[in-house]
Amino acid sequence: MPPQPSASYSITYRLHVAADDPRLLGQVTSAVGEHSGAVMGLDVIDAAVDPMVVDVTVNAGDADHAAALQAAIEALEGVHVHHGSDRTFLIHLHGKLEVRSTVPLVSRDDLSMAYTPGVARVCRALVDYPDDARHLTIKGNTVAIVTDGTAVLGLGDIGPVAALPVMEGKAALFKAFAGVDAWPVCLDTTDSDEIVRIVEALAPVYGGINLEDIAAPRCFEIEARLQESLDIPVFHDDQHGTAIVVLAALRNALKVVGRSLDEVTVALSGAGAAGVAIARLLVAEGVGDLIACDRGGILGPGREGLQGAKAWLADQANRQGRSGSLRDALTGAHVFIGVSGPGLLEVDDLRQMADDAIVFALANPDPEVDPVAAREIAAVVATGRSDQPNQINNVLAFPGVFRGALDARASTITEPMKAAAARALADVIAPDELRPTYIIPGPFDERVATAVAQAVRDAAPS
């Protein structure tokens, strides 16, 4: 069975179609459907020639599936595939960002004020009052998206150049959802000391630092050191953005099943950046118990050699002192949260959970357990996928979090600010709207960034 068609593999095929057979266009769409593709558009470009020129746009599940769809179309008598255009690559041509001036430069007066000699007056003012840079320069609305490319999405350590398209996309999301001007800073080093020093040197330009796709455990050290040395917010989105959205979704999922956070046990698969941040936030918010697992099984008192965050998880989060495998952690658990890897669980493994279980299988693109089958057992299921209900998507958090922090002129993003963001995000959905397939708003819900930003501003230290 081919994978689920997605716009991430959207191809437009330019076809030459025999003009004397009116059945061929129907046969083209049928061939795509018979091979599990999705026809998204069919445009007759030129009907005055023979053969006609036709564009058909299809969604496939992966590159092999796209090739199979092309072969199926090509196999039709009277149809020739002239070429195919990958729409995902097309939207990346020349990058996804540009710099534009916010002031007109059409006269000598404009030049005199925006640049020399007038700009010198503003520079002198900033010498005396450097804090005014937040409203006299781009600093007040600008975030650096800093990465070393060592933990990119589901791709792993691909380096700073290959990471750049992701960072461009992140910057586009900042702008689209919260009006924040963000810029990729992809560093050709994995040395923690060097990354810290580079970011410290760049910091005067920015009002905030968003750390992105830096592998654990270095990400913990880098964030902590930068928070200590800088007077602007430092936020590792892979940790805290994920944790905020998970907490918001879990709050609403618990309302659906009629439970409270302080009475549930959570089985957590994954002790990397996201898993640790989720655990810390849930513990801070009073979760009944949380049993974290890594590749070696449950993090508990019986595990030797645990250090840093994993040692904290073993000591603070596993109050029952459990040991064993992930499946042992599931026994009696009310909630499963996976931020680990694909296919770790069989659907039947969920049967040992408590009744009305909640399953957040967030590994992307392939979840820890089949979400469709999981819905036959669990009361609420969420994933990281856009083609499934209840998508846990960081875009619900980071634009609003930084909007609020920048507006508050915050020097840090505190735990109360993160918790406030989660509550505001959860409250976007009214109680009478909640249902098992709607526990978290969609990424295009215009209420989200505004609500999160307001909550963060209100919770920021005065």
Q: Is residue 103 part of a domain?
A: no
Say whether both 189 and 158 belong to one domain: yes
Q: Is residue 101 part of a domain?
A: no
* Last residue in a domain, options 203, 232, 261: 232
- Structural domain range at position 197: 143-232
pLDDT for 309: 86
* Last residue in a domain, options 176, 197, 232: 232
Q: How confident is the model at residue 373 (pLDDT cuts 50, 70, 90)?
A: very high
Q: Is residue 1 part of a domain?
A: no
Say whether both 223 and 263 belong to one domain: no
Q: Is residue 118 part of a domain?
A: no
Q: What is the pLDDT of residues 374-387, one digit of tens each?
A: 999 999 999 998 88
Say whether both 374 and 415 belong to one domain: yes
Token readout for 414 is 């505190």
Q: What is the pLDDT of residues 96-155, one digit of tens each?
A: 999 999 999 999 999 999 999 999 999 999 999 999 999 999 999 999 999 999 999 878
AA identity, residue 144 = A
* Last residue in a domain, options 176, 205, 232: 232
Q: How confident is the model at residue 288 (pLDDT cuts 50, 70, 90)?
A: very high
Say whether both 180 and 286 belong to one domain: no
Report, as an integer, the average pLDDT of 417-434.
Answer: 97
Active site residues: 115, 170
Say whether both 206 and 281 belong to one domain: no
- The more confident residue out of 117 and 308 is 117
Say whether both 215 and 284 belong to one domain: no
Q: What is the pLDDT of residues 147-165, one digit of tens each?
A: 999 999 878 999 999 999 9
Say whether both 164 and 296 belong to one domain: no
Q: Kindly report the CATH number assigned to the domain that includes residue 191.
A: 3.40.50.10380
Q: Is residue 460 part of a domain?
A: yes
Q: Kindly report the CATH number assigned to the domain that includes residue 399.
A: 3.40.50.720
pLDDT for 387: 83
Say whether both 398 and 413 belong to one domain: yes
| Residue 246 scores a pLDDT above 90 | yes
Say whether both 268 and 198 belong to one domain: no
Percent of the chain with pLDDT over 70: 100
- 227-249 CB burial, b ≥16 within 10 A, e <16: beebebbbbbbbbbbbbbbbbbb
Q: Is residue 132 part of a domain?
A: no
| Residue 298 scores a pLDDT above 90 | yes
pLDDT for 364: 85
* CA 132 to chain CA centroid, nearest Å: 33
| Residue 305 scores a pLDDT above 90 | no
Q: What is the mean pLDDT of the chain?
A: 95
| Residue 371 scores a pLDDT above 80 | yes
Q: What is the pLDDT of residues 20-45, one digit of tens each?
A: 998 999 999 999 999 999 999 999 99
Number of domains the chain is built from:
3
Say whether both 252 and 216 belong to one domain: no
Say whether both 191 and 263 belong to one domain: no
Q: Is residue 256 part of a domain?
A: yes
pLDDT for 320: 84
Q: Is residue 96 part of a domain?
A: no
* Whole-prediction pTM: 0.91
